[in-house]
Amino acid sequence: MSGANRLTRARRRLGLPRLPSSRRDLRLVARTVRLVLGVPAYGALAVVVSVLALSGFVLSQNVALVRDTVIGGSLPLDARLTILVEQYPFVGTVYEPLPGAMLVVIALLTGANVAVVAYHLRENGILGGDERDGAGAGGTSAGGSVGGAVGVFLGALGAGCAACGSAVLVGVFSLVGASGVVLFLPFDGLEFTLLALVPLGLSLFWLADGMRGAEIRGCPVDI
């Protein structure tokens, strides 16, 4: 028996969800996301969540500034808006292009995750007790939903912390006398942002895997 087969058996014994292993799996994820976001309500939800996610990431880096000048304080409206938009990637100077792009990608993935989770729960009746015909709610459906929520949570948390960059990492590490640890992070904390892509990507796959056999807008998810 090959190593891959042994791993598969061990995973099944432990009840763990499977991992993407082929291009077909990636196509499944892409097709599922495309079909779900093609539904106007879910597309709008994804956009709203993505904007909220990005806002959460970037505004969390300067809470006091936003609180004292955008929300509170006595600045005129145009000054408040200027301060607000200047915190976002590609508008202000806070983020270099690559970290800024990564944050946008993670925000978009977060939006897609929430939209697919919402679709799965609502349209396939996973938790509503009225599972529909054709909804392939196999063993991975609920797991996919939970995995999706966990993935969104971990991904967002990881991205939020990664956005802090090396300066915060140094601050944290210096508390335990290990500020030199950042010397081993060649991309100044971007590594953490990249790590956040893993749970987000996996959660999308688990959701899509759980929706195999279902139809979205009359189209089969798995072809």
Partner 1 sequence: MDFTRRSALATVGVAGLGALAGCLGGTSGSGDGGGANGTPIGDHPAGAGLDSQPALGPADAGATVVAFEDPSCPTCRNFERNAGERLRSGPVADGDLRFVSRVYPIIYPWGKPAVQALEAVYAREGGEEAYWALFDHYFAEQGAFDTDTVLDRTESFLAANTDLDASGVVADAEAEAYDDAVQTDLDAGSAAGADRTPTLFLFRDGTYVTRASGNVSYETIASALRL
Residues lying near partner 1 in the complex (CB under 8 A): 49, 52-53, 55-57, 60-65, 67-69, 72-73, 75, 79-80, 82-83, 86-87, 92-96, 110, 113-114, 117-118, 121-122, 125, 127-128, 145, 148-149, 152-157, 159-161, 163-168, 170-172, 174, 179-180, 182-183, 188
Two tokens, residue 78: 């145009």
- Give the single-character DSSP code of 220: E
CB-nearer residue toward partner 1: 183 or 223: 183
The residue assigned the tokens 């509170």 is 72
CB-nearer residue toward partner 1: 101 or 164: 164
Q: Supply the minimum distance, in Å, between the C-beta of residue 23 and partner 1.
A: 29
Two tokens, residue 57: 């990431």
Q: Supply the minimum distance, in Å, between the C-beta of residue 122 and partner 1.
A: 6
Q: Supply the minimum distance, in Å, between the C-beta of residue 174 and partner 1.
A: 6
Q: How far is CA 121 from CA 84, 108, 126, 207, in A?
A: 34, 20, 5, 10
The neighbour count for residue 120, using CB atoms within 10 Å, is: 26
Question: Is 132 in contact with 180 (CB distance < 8 Å)?
Answer: no
CB-nearer residue toward partner 1: 38 or 73: 73
- Measured CA to CA, the distance from residue 17 to residue 140 in angstroms comes to 7
CB-nearer residue toward partner 1: 29 or 182: 182
Q: Supply the minimum distance, in Å, between the C-beta of residue 30 and partner 1.
A: 22
- Measured CA to CA, the distance from residue 103 to residue 151 in angstroms comes to 16
